[in-house]
């Protein structure tokens, strides 16, 4: 980076304005995510939210040891003292009736949380009664959870030996009950609630006995002869939960304003005790007129959220859930708050018990132990909600005014919105997330909550995992049944986020698609068609937010498939509609808009040059076989091969597979070859006892058509197989190709292909046409394991997972390239400033005029004979292509930057190159004479070059004795690529849509040798091998688009150049050396210049009005626009003389007055203007 340039305000501002007018507006080709990313899904995160061992508490044992009227001997009670048990004063009625009423009330209180459980009361029981109760409940519960509630207010405190107290039959003695025995009777899983003084002793004893049991189990497992092994195995108590009212050294509160069973009240009637406790605080005096009696009259029901009591219960649930989620470890939260509804309710209420009882110096205990939560900030929000509710009570009850709903949920949503809007990326999770889930239950706030939830899930997979851990799944699943249309866009987005992160849900939801088809499919699919105004980002392209059709997801496949509607999706899944659906799919070898549907695909043959095998990889199907199968697929031999009619869907699919097997992109052809090999193997194994498909069965109807490019078809990107006894060829022998010395710094590019077929070595190298091959050497069951593995290997592609990964990533976030402060944006700005500087400085040189151009500024030996050279428009890099490789040089430093293999088969050659996105992130396009186009990235920067994409740009390349190969011209302004060559059409590709958009017939019987286009005038000038120059207007139809034909040249047109100006001329040069200038609106040339004859290469400088000619006579002549020779570059003898060979190629720099020359002696030279001009 030029520091002086960047620190000069005036210069920087002027250049930035120029860059804004030019480079910022240019589109980029092949720079979408599918081109820059590796096509694979995101790494699956371990999802801990899904409870594999979800449980239910099915049985509840209520054991009350009250002995009403008789206080235990070890407890000295105050006077007055707390007396209420389950909100009943036991002294207000007879002892027996009080005991029964308290038991009935306790059962009702539990039934509010778990109405379907089986409840059994044991009032003032004996040991045997407790044993009978517990064993019967465990027997009925089986593997489900059982709750054991113990109220020991009428018996002595637990002992340090791990005993609680019950009664004898006559109630004359207190009988100890060992916790060890209780564990045996209750079994596991169980939950124990202890409401008595010193309850912490029971928790400690329980853990000691549980550890003792684990040790006994280990001893019995290790030593079967041990006496413990002969006894019934004790149950493991690992899954047991305990809730105790106080620590081991604490007594229960005796405040007469509180109930005696304060712990039980907190666990079973939390709202009632919370309101009473609130009124007992000093802060309650701020709410005038609210008394304990008034609290009893609060209207509503707990399960009706529209009433004051129901709303308070709703808020309490949200707050306690939020506290637990923010304080507890994730796994503990899942176990206690999501595994069992009753356990979750008890633990939510336990948080309230901790807050209330700690204010009376009593600390509730739990196992597993929870972190302290009584000082959490959310309790202040609870106090505010209670305050707002209670302040309305006097007027509601006395005057009958309407209840004003609490602003709690709206305020919490606002806090969540602030977190989403203002927070930094690396931050703690939002504490309001559990509240957002509770808000989904409210129709008033549901739309806003879904919107905020979607924005949160958009932050990434971590956000989705957090939301799932809170418990979002059942909420959004239930909302699928909602008929509210305004929720559908949000639900589509939220479900896309969830399914992208947790793909297992796709399978889990499959039955729901059938059950709720009218809702589920309507939400996801009808919305796509009917609500076009809502932007749903596409997994394939972030620049097309309204497109949800995964039509261009392929990373390097030129848009092979496109499903355009919900109707096609549905039809494609129905067997009877399969053929019709395939007609609607774009099964196109070239990605054209009209798309070769299966019905007319047989009329087109793909390029005949891209099947091969690198490094002795062997296939079941030979490559000659594939080529012949493609060329004779319309004959009866194909019908006999698969045993179906020509027009059947299977024939069409087979033909498409053959085309895909010839794709120039290695991964595409590999997958197709694997499918073909698998089908061929199964077909031959079913038809006859041989292992490889006969080539004779494929060619007996029609012989292979001759071709001048050899009979062996090689895999794209690979080298041909070396001769050996294991050759996979079924027909002619293939001679060993000449090896070219590769540089040590860069190995050849060899894409990985499929596995080998170990059995193919049984065939001889040459066979007769109808030879059936060797006899089967082994039974099917004894075939080599390697072959079985090869055939059964599942075809895998990461395209679907990669497309789904799009939804797992933030899509609402401002893209980095649009963030003015991002590094990507800064780098682009620097490149555009550099471009503006190059344009300005080069323009100043060309405007002064170039009088000489023979100063050699670079010379070096290229690894291969240069066939095409191309300057990068803005940096000091030049690409030099030989037959099948590309070398990059830094012409300013004289260094070789890179050299890599293009991947074209050995009998083809590179005939054209173009820089795409040369103003920004450059890509290199190479065209070969078999019609294949390849796009490369990461070249010339010390990285491994990668193929971005490749496709068959031209099919049916005509074999000629002297061919032009493939010629191209690139329009950066429109993203259009013009291609032609040894064909009779000019094919135009839209690189943004990756589609063929137009075929323009040339109307000539000779090849196209040169192309030049002008985007502003929509004109294309083409030079042809018959000496004609033809001008086309691509805005017109195929029959009218040829607007002018010039036939003044009498020989092969070497170059036709269309000046990119409003009134620009067409400049054309033939091999005879005549240079002609045409005005597109006149039928005759306006000027003619004569240069040397026998031209082999020519180029025209787009800015400096210069053109250079090269010949086989080791001679270069540079002319100005008037036809005057300004420089002659010849072969000179002597030590300091310039040594140039026969000219093979030459090219001007798009801006600088530099001329690159390649010669047949491997040397590459660059000549420039005089130093004083530079």
Q: Give per-10-residue mean pLDDT for the chain (1174 aa).
A: 38 50 86 86 71 82 93 86 93 93 96 93 95 94 93 94 93 93 92 96 93 80 65 71 95 92 96 92 74 84 89 95 94 90 95 96 94 94 92 84 90 93 80 91 91 92 89 87 86 88 72 54 52 40 35 36 34 37 37 32 32 35 47 41 64 86 89 88 71 40 35 33 32 35 42 38 38 41 45 68 83 81 89 91 86 87 92 93 93 90 89 93 93 91 85 80 85 93 93 93 91 90 93 90 90 90 87 89 87 86 88 84 84 51 88 91 88 60
pLDDT for res 510: 63
Q: Which residues contact 535 (CB under 8 A, 6 or more apart)?
A: 545, 546
Let me know: does 1002 contact 1022? Beta carbons within 8 Å.
yes
pLDDT for res 225: 67
- Spatial CA neighbour of 556 closest among 828, 921, 923, 805: 923
> Assign residue 257 a region: left if phi > 0, alpha if psi is -120 to 50, beta otherwise?
alpha
Tokens 């507890």, residue located: 328
In order of 331, 355, 370, the CA distances from 327 in angstroms are: 12, 15, 9
Tokens (6 digits) for 275: 């309101």
Tokens 């299966």, residue located: 598
How buried is 603 (Cβ within 10 angstroms: 0-12 exposed, 13-18 middle, 19+ buried)? exposed
pLDDT for res 415: 93
Tokens 């609060």, residue located: 298
For residue 1062, give the DSSP letter.
T
- Spatial CA neighbour of 251 closest among 369, 77, 400: 77
Tokens (6 digits) for 425: 């990326």
Q: Say how far apart CA 279 and CA 291 lie, in whole Å.
A: 7
In order of 440, 870, 1009, 1129, the CA distances from 1117 in angstroms are: 79, 19, 21, 6
- Spatial CA neighbour of 1100 closest among 1085, 1118, 1086: 1118
Let me know: does 755 contact 790? Beta carbons within 8 Å.
yes
Q: H or E element: which one contains 1030? A: strand 1029-1033
Q: How far apart are the first and last CA of the chain?
A: 20
- Spatial CA neighbour of 587 closest among 633, 635, 653, 632: 653
pLDDT for res 555: 37
For residue 842, give the DSSP letter.
H
Let me know: does 271 contact 262? Beta carbons within 8 Å.
no
pLDDT for res 988: 94
Tokens (6 digits) for 837: 């500087």
Let me know: does 779 contact 791? Beta carbons within 8 Å.
no
pLDDT for res 39: 83
- Number of other CB atoms surrounding residue 1076 within 10 Å: 22
In order of 131, 133, 141, 177, 954, the CA distances from 138 in angstroms are: 11, 9, 5, 18, 77
**Would you tell me the crossing angle of helices 649-661 and 666-687 to the nearest 10 degrees?**
130
Let me know: does 306 contact 322? Beta carbons within 8 Å.
no
Predicted TM-score of the model (pTM):
0.70
- Number of other CB atoms surrounding residue 548 within 10 Å: 18
């Amino acid at each position: 980076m030029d520091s002086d340039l960047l620190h000069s305000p005036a210069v920087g501002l002027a250049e930035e304005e120029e860059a804004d007018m030019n480079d910022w507006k240019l589109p980029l080709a092949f720079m979408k995510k599918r081109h820059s990313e590796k096509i694979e899904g995101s790494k699956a995160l371990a999802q801990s939210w899904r409870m594999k061992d979800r449980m239910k508490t099915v049985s509840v044992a209520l054991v009350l040891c009250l002995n009403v009227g008789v206080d235990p001997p070890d407890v000295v009670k105050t006077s007055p003292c707390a007396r209420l048990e389950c909100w009943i004063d036991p002294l207000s009625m007879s002892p027996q009736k009080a005991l029964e009423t308290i038991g009935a009330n306790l059962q009702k209180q539990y039934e509010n949380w778990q109405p379907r459980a089986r409840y059994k009361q044991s009032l003032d029981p004996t040991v045997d009664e407790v044993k009978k109760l517990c064993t019967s409940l465990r027997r009925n519960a089986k593997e489900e959870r059982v709750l054991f509630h113990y109220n020991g207010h009428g018996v002595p405190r637990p002992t340090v030996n791990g005993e609680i107290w019950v009664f004898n039959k006559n109630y004359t003695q207190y009988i100890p009950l060992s916790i060890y025995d209780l564990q045996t009777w209750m079994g596991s899983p169980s939950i124990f609630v202890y409401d008595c003084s010193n309850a912490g002793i029971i928790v400690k004893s329980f853990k000691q006995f549980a550890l003792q049991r684990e040790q006994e189990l280990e001893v019995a497992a290790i030593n079967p002869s041990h006496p413990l092994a002969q006894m019934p195995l004790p149950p493991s108590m690992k899954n047991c939960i305990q809730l105790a009212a106080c620590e081991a050294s604490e007594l229960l509160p005796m405040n007469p304003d509180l109930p005696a069973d304060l712990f039980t009240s907190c666990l079973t009637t939390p709202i009632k005790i919370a309101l009473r406790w609130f009124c007992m605080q000093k802060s309650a005096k701020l709410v005038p007129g609210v008394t304990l009696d008034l609290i009893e009259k609060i209207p509503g029901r707990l399960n009706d959220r529209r009433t004051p009591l129901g709303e308070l219960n709703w808020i309490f649930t949200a707050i306690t859930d939020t506290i637990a989620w923010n304080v507890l470890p994730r796994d503990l939260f899942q176990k206690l708050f999501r595994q069992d509804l009753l356990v979750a309710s008890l633990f939510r209420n336990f948080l309230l018990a901790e807050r209330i009882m700690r204010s009376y110096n009593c600390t509730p205990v739990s196992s597993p132990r929870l972190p302290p939560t009584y000082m959490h900030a959310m309790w202040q929000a609870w106090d505010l909600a209670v305050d707002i509710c209670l302040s309305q009570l006097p007027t509601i009850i006395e005057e009958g005014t309407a209840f004003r709903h609490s602003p709690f949920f709206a305020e919490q949503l606002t806090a969540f919105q602030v977190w989403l809007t203002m927070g930094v990326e690396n931050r703690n999770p939002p504490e309001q997330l559990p509240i957002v889930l509770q808000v989904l239950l409210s129709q008033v706030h549901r739309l806003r909550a879904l919107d905020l939830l979607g924005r949160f899930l958009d932050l990434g997979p971590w956000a989705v995992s957090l939301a799932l851990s809170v418990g979002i799944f059942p909420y959004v699943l239930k909302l699928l049944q909602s008929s509210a249309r305004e929720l559908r866009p949000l639900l589509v987005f939220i479900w896309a986020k969830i399914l992208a992160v947790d793909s297992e849900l796709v399978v889990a939801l499959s039955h729901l698609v059938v059950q709720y088809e009218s809702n589920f499919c309507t939400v996801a699919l009808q919305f796509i068609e009917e609500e076009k105004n809502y932007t749903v980002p596409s997994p394939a392209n972030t620049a097309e937010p309204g497109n949800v059709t995964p039509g261009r997801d392929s990373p390097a496949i030129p848009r092979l498939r496109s499903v355009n509607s919900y109707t096609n999706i549905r039809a494609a899944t129905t067997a009877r509609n399969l053929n019709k659906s395939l007609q609607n799919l774009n099964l196109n070898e070239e990605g054209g808009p009209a798309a070769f549907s299966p019905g007319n695909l047989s009329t087109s043959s793909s390029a005949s040059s891209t099947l091969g095998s690198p490094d002795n990889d062997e296939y079941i199907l030979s490559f000659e076989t594939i080529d012949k199968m493609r060329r004779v697929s319309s004959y009866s031999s194909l019908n006999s091969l698969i045993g179906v009619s020509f027009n059947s869907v299977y024939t069409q699919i087979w033909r498409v597979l053959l085309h895909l097997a010839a794709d120039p992109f290695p991964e595409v052809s590999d997958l197709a070859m694997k499918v073909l090999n698998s089908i061929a193997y199964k077909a031959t194994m079913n038809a006859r006892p041989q292992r490889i498909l006969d080539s004779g069965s494929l060619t007996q109807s029609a012989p292979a058509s001759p071709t001048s490019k050899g009979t062996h078809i090689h895999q794209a990107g690979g080298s041909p197989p070396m001769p050996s006894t294991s050759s996979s060829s079924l027909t002619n022998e293939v001679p060993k190709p000449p090896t070219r010395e590769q540089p040590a710094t860069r190995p050849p590019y060899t894409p990985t292909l499929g596995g080998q077929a170990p059995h193919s070595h049984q065939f001889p190298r040459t066979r007769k046409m109808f030879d059936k091959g060797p006899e089967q050497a082994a039974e099917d069951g004894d075939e080599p394991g390697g072959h079985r593995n090869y055939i059964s290997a599942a075809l895998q592609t990461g395209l679907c997972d990669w497309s789904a990964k799009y939804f797992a990533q933030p899509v609402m976030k401002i893209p980095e390239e649009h963030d003015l402060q991002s590094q990507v944006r800064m780098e682009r700005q620097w490149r555009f400033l550099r471009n503006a500087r190059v344009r300005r400085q080069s323009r100043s040189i060309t405007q002064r005029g170039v009088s000489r151009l023979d100063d050699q500024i670079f010379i070096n030996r290229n690894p291969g004979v240069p066939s095409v050279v191309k300057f990068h428009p803005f940096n000091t890099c030049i690409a030099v292509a030989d037959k099948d490789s590309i070398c990059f040089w830094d012409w300013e430093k004289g260094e070789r930057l890179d050299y890599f293999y293009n991947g074209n088969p050995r009998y083809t050659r590179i005939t054209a190159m173009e820089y795409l996105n040369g103003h920004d992130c450059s890509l290199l396009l190479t065209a070969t004479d078999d019609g294949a186009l390849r796009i490369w990235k990461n070249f010339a920067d010390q990285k491994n070059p990668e193929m971005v994409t490749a496709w068959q740009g031209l099919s049916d390349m005509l074999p000629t004795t002297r061919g032009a190969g493939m010629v191209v011209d690139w329009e950066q302004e429109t993203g259009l690529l013009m291609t032609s060559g040894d064909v009779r059409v000019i094919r135009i590709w839209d690189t943004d849509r990756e589609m063929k958009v137009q075929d323009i017939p040339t109307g000539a019987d000779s090849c196209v040798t040169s192309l030049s286009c002008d985007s502003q005038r929509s004109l294309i000038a083409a030079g042809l091998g018959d000496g004609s120059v033809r001008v086309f207007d691509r805005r017109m139809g195929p029959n009218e688009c040829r607007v002018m034909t010039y036939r003044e040249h009498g020989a092969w047109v070497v170059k036709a150049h269309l000046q990119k100006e409003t009134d620009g001329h067409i400049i054309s040069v033939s091999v005879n050396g005549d240079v002609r200038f045409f005005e597109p609106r006149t039928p005759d040339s306006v000027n003619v210049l004569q240069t040397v004859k026998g031209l082999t290469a020519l180029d025209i400088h787009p800015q400096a009005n210069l053109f250079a000619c090269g010949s086989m006579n080791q001679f270069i002549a540079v002319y100005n626009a008037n036809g005057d020779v300004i420089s002659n570059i010849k072969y000179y003898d002597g030590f300091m003389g310039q040594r140039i060979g026969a000219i093979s190629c030459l090219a001007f720099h798009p801006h600088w007055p530099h001329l690159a020359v390649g010669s047949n002696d491997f040397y590459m030279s660059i000549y420039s203007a005089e130093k004083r001009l530079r």
